[in-house]
Structure 1
Amino acid sequence: MVMGRTCGLPSFPGGGDDTMMRAESPSMSFGAMPSAHRSDPSLDSPQASAVASLKDGDAPPLSSRVMDAEGWALVEHSGRVVAFNAQASVHFGIPAPTTVEHGRLPGCEWLRSDGTPLPSHEAPLARALAGEQVDTAEWTVLRPDGMRVRLQGTATPVKGGDGRVAAAVLRTRAVEALPAPLLDASRLLAEAGALLGTSVDAEAQLEPLLKLLVPTLGDGALLILMSPDADVSVAASLHVDAGRHALLRELLSRYPPDPTLPGGLSHVFVTGAVARLCVMSDEHVTLTARDAEHARMMREVGPHGCLSVPLAARGNVLGALILLRANVLHAFDAEEERVLAELAHRTALYLENARLLKEAREAVRQRDEFLGIASHELKTPLTPLSLKVQLLQKQVTVLAREGKPVPTERVSETLEVVQRQVRRLSRLVDNLLDVSRISAGRLRLEVEELDLASVAAEILYRFAPAAQQQGTELELHAPVPVVGRWDRLRLEQVVTNLLSNALKYGAGHPVVLSVDARGTVARLTVKDHGIGIAPEDLARIFERFERAVSDRHYGGLGLGLYITRQIVEAFGGTVLAQSEPGQGSTFTLELPRGDIPEEWLTAHAAPGPTSESEGG
């Protein structure tokens, strides 16, 4: 499916030449001026007189000018382009420039008969700006797209009231019909393939890729990418005209593309189909401008024909490759569309492969980091366990030689250390097994009716000795039972992880655990007053192997919150973190209560035995 839209050229006051293109100067526009206005002092400048002569007495009638296909440009002595008509754009293969340097049109070379470039001061426009009248002659021009064209024309200096040259008028006609440019698709695609194959740094290759398209296929190009979150960003932009290039970049920076706006790129992103649009025309500006400044900048860039093809790979639309052409009368043909679509497909595969490679490298980095942390964490409980066992073994050997019994206290103390470290090892191994189950989609839940407030109280009781040893006060706010259908072991694991983190990072300050309910949703909150979490770390602490603190100061595998989130989401709930550095953290867990009796949603006490069972 291909979209199409008529793209009109900007018009000029007075109903003048419809094929004229306004130069990039919002303060000035030229058109046919009624003779009654020519005596106006404001119109008495050399530039206005030159344009008037082109439009009236010195120029043939409009119909014959269209047939003769005359191109013309008016350039001030400073190099500012006052006017540049559409046929001049066709002749020189460039959009209307904003300025010229040393009389040289952007990207164009004036050639001698032997094919060598003329020095800049010998170019017709430069000679006219220097005050020389260049009579009718034939020239060969090498255009930016590589075409050589034969032009016939004149270059005339325009003097001001002080007798000095104020501007110059360049008038051209094609000596022969301009041939359609030959598109060497194979060479372009081969160069693109070589470019994309030189580096896996995707971002660094995108602008050089656009340089293969500009000016060969168009006057400008954009490469727009869409993230998995549907955020749209401009990855690269280019325009053959330096003034428009800078303006286009500023425009895209200040007003990023919005695929949801009508008349924009939504068709490409939603359907993955090719789109032909007319962008930055008066109609497009009216439809899409977000404010007056946006409209002004779009009008300064000027109307462009637009061919947009999707960047699609493996069934996903990653963005769009967009080609711009200032000469809106020169439509993109089927061959150009085919080449752009093929290039877009190759670029999409390159970007997708670069993303997969980046993810693989990140996975390897995380694996290596995890193995380092895991080996340290697994070794930590083994060290005291080994020392205690060795010490007990030596004591038993010595006492056996002396014929004395082994004291029960020493054995009991050693066994207590062994049991504590074995429990720690078991938790570490269980976490690793849970990650494996989650990754394989084998996390099973065995739901039953239970009270979340009771579970919280049990976990708090288990942590009481450790909290007392740290000097941390534990508080529980659970005024009423909150009954729901959950997996007891997994729910205990979630509360344990949250409470364990609060004690670890709470810096000895009070930890508050609260349980309440709002209708069919149960809520558990764990709040500490410890070191807190930086805002940039909040989004990643629930990811696998992620930590917001140095592992040198705080132990752990970085799996607790990841497992917590996976279990909570398996229940159909959510877990969120709020924190500020130095102000502590609050973790809020919300769980659907499941299919439970209606009266339990409003009950203020746990369901108790019936009178019959009491009597029985």
Structure 2
Amino acid sequence: MSSGVTSSSSCPDPSPDGVPEPSADAALTQGLAEQGLPVRVAGAEAEAEGWILIERTGAVLAFNTQAAFHFGIPAPARVEHGRLPGCEWVRADGTPLPSHESPLARALAGEQVDASVWEVLRPDGTRAFLRATAVPVKGGDGQVAAALLRTHGVEALPGAVLDASRLLAEAGALLGEAVDAEAQLEPLLKLLVPALGDGALLILKAPGEPVRVVASLHADAGRHALLRELLGRYPPDSSLPGELPEVFVSGAVGRLPILSEEHVAAIARDAEHARLLREVGPHGCLSVPLGARGGMLGALMLLRSNVLRAFDADEERFLSELAHRTALYLENARLLREAREAVRQRDEFLGIASHELKTPLTPLSLKVQLLQKQVVVLAREGRPVPTEKVAETLDVVQRQVRRLSGLVDNLLDVSRITAGRLRLELEELDLASVAAEILYRFAPAAAQHGTELELNAPVPVVGRWDRLRLEQVVTNLVSNALKYGAGHPVVLGVEGHGTLARLTVKDHGIGIAPEDLARIFERFERAVSDRHYGGLGLGLYITRQIVEAFGGKVRATSEPGQGSTFILELPRGDIPEEWLTAHAAPGPTADLEPAPEPEPEPS
């Protein structure tokens, strides 16, 4: 043989302990020594441990007395496909293990099989539990020349009796210790490893978010580091086929008897990924869903390197119950976080609302008090009250009342939206004319701030919308542009695209940071400090809700310091075909008088 190991059809004369002496085969002895494997075992250790050394061709080079006792057979001359004559490696359910998955066959294939408990069916029908280690032995050419199997007998299968009540009690105490849900998940896995398996993973998959492995653990320190490296470099990706367990697809308990080479080849993203999968080691897997209140939050996966010991029904029921309790814990923790965030937002809103409502009340109160004092003084002196003084005061009162009314209306709108009572009265409208009228109303306020208003709407764009709500949307967007436009021009554009109407409002002001674009349409949100820009933070939220009630969308694009553009897209509804190709230029209503200066509702 090229390996330098002499093939033999009969078992060589063993040493007293059954392990070959150095003289049996120099190359094989050197290979054993180079890999740190002893060539001799003496005394009590030799008596307790079984030794089997099999050449690559199947010839048995060593088979000591203890090995014969463990397997219930005399020393054979040959072994075919890693299967000892008359013996079967079997799983816990009694089914035979495929020959290529036996420890001897795996060692002959070049794999090191770490110590684990295996079950053997002997020729006389009895079963034995053996703690076995199998290692490949390389010859002079660096190739696998032989396989060495070392066995110890054990009285019973470790962990065969599941104390489910104790483990569930410990898990309940652990999960009840802290509100920070994810901080308790890795300690939870320590209850399972190594009691029920060699490794465990807890994977979460929230709607709209990427899959996350929030906790992982392996009983072997080396494989624990490999598992962490594997998950860090190749996190689960739900977009790739075979990446996630079947439990994420069906929501049912899933079993993987062994992570075979075919499975590795199917799911590996590259050669390095395949290497890490192999180094973590072959294992069986039991996956149970994390289900709570009708939804699935993720999966709990238990790994077991000893593929002979299949997961039984009791273990599956226990793991499913533990997963259910964990899911309830995670869901309750989420609800608690949301409740705390809602309380925080409420307190923040109450503070802002108190300030905003007080702002118009202060000048209103001062003006009324001043007018009252003037009227009292003039009445005592018998002089008439100047009309211009009354008109000035009433003008201030009217403006502040309008502002208060707008704030209260926004609060009422939020209440209606939250309760699902936002009603729409649809009628045929021209979006371009509505935009022109809103700009006409804002003209005095824009002139006061030195802001130019421009409308680009060459043709009418007719659709079926609620006039009051459509005007509210355009008013909010124009008000927002004036507020943050810093005196620069504000440009409105209206155009039709078939059955879709589009309105754009562009300012050239301070702009919005990219990280703030996604949240400015939420309740009580702003992209700037409320100390410099007032408001309840409701204008854009109400705008989005109304637009979505119309079946449309609103979004914003911006660069800090370059201004912002709000783009509103609305379906035009069920309208006559000829309305899609109208050509008359829009304009404000002929008899519309300039409205008093509107108070922009800050967003």
Range into which the TM-score falls when normalised by the shorter chain: 0.7 to 0.9
Q: Is the 8 A contact 2:454 2:489 kept in 1?
A: yes
Contact 2:289 2:299 in 1 (8 A): yes
In structure 1, C-alpha distance between the alignment counterparts of 2:130 and 2:465, rounded to whole Å: 84
Structure 1 counterpart of 2:470, one-letter code? L
Partner of 1:493: 472
Alpha-carbon displacement from aligned partner over 1:270-304 (angstroms, at most 9, x marks no partner): 32110102464211111111222222221221221
Which range is displaced more, 42-51 or 306-315?
42-51
CA RMSD of aligned residues (A): 3.4
Letter in 2 for 1:524: L
| The one of 113, 123, 130 aligned to 1:85 | 113
Contact 1:71 1:172 survives alignment (8 Å): no
**Deviates most, 394-403 or 227-236:** 227-236
Residue type of the alignment partner of 1:254: R
Q: Which amino acid aligns with 2:113?
A: N
- In structure 1, the residue matched to 2:53 is 54
1:238 equivalent in alignment to 2:242: no
Given the superposition, is the C-alpha separation of residues 459 and 41 from structure 1 closer, same or farther in structure 2, using an over 3 Å criterion? farther
Does the 8 Å CA contact 2:522/2:541 hold for their aligned counterparts? yes
CA contact (8 A) 2:490 2:505 kept: yes
Give 3-state SS (helix, strand or coil) of 1:601's partner.
helix
State the partner residue of 1:193. 172
1:373-388 mapped onto 2 (5 Å cutoff): 373-388=352-367
The more displaced of 474-483 and 62-71 is 62-71
Structure 1 match to 2:317: 338
Mapped contact 1:575–1:590 kept (Cα < 8 A): yes
Rounded Cα–Cα distance in structure 1 between residues aligned with 2:204 and 2:27? 55
> Which residue in 2 is equivalent to 1:464?
443
Does structure 2 conserve the Cα–Cα contact (< 8 Å) formed by 1:221 and 1:239?
A: yes
Q: How is 1:498-577 mapped onto 2 (pairs within 5 angstroms)?
A: 498-577=477-556
Letter of the aligned partner of 1:333 in structure 2? Answer: D
Contact persistence 1:259–1:269 (CA under 8 A): no
Aligned match of 2:374 = 395
Paired residues in the alignment total 501
Give the 3-state SS of the residue equivalent to 1:416 in structure 2: helix
Would the aligned equivalents of 1:244 and 1:301 in 2 still touch at CA under 8 Å?
A: yes
- Indicate if the aligned counterparts of 2:199 and 2:218 stay in contact, CA closer than 8 A: yes
Aligned-pair distance for 1:401?
1.3
Q: Give the drift of 1:50.
A: 6.5
Offset of 1:231 from its aligned partner? 2.7
- Residues 540-577 of structure 1, C-alpha deviations (whole Å, 9 max, x = no match): 11111111111111100010011000000000000001
Per-residue deviation, 1:259:
3.6
Partner of 2:226: 247
Which range moved further: 184-193 or 509-518? 509-518
- Asked if the contact 1:232/1:259 (under 8 Å) is kept, the reply is yes
1:361–1:327 CA distance, 2 compared to 1 (3 A): same
**8 Å CA contact retained: 1:278, 1:284:** no
Instruction: For 1:177 and 1:415, locate their aligned partners in 2 and report how far apart those are by CA, in whole Å.
Output: 95
Contact 2:484–2:510 (Cα < 8 Å) also in 1? yes
Q: CA deviation at 1:55?
A: 2.2
The 3 A distance-change label for structure 1 pair 542 and 253 is same
TM-score by length of 2: 0.77
Report the CA distance shift for 1:594/1:150 in structure 2 as closer, same or farther (over 3 A).
closer
Quote the residue 2:410 is aligned against: 431
- Give the stretch that moved more between structures: 536-545 or 186-195: 536-545
- Residue identity in the other structure for 1:472: T
Displacement of 1:473? 1.5
Secondary structure, aligned partner of 2:525? coil
1:213 positional shift: 0.7
Equivalence for 1:99: none
Question: Could you tell which deviates more after superposition, 247-256 or 59-68?
Answer: 59-68
Post-superposition offset of 1:58: 2.0
TM-score by length of 1: 0.75
Gaps of 5+ in 2: 6-24, 40-50, 56-60, 64-74, 90-101, 105-109, 120-127, 141-147, 588-603
Q: What displacement does 1:41 show?
A: 12
Deviations 1:413-468 (A, max 9, x none): 00000000000000000000000100111101011111101110111111111111
453, 457, 462: which one aligns with 1:483: 462
**Deviation (angstroms), 1:220:** 0.7
Identity %: 78
2:367 pairs with 1:357: no
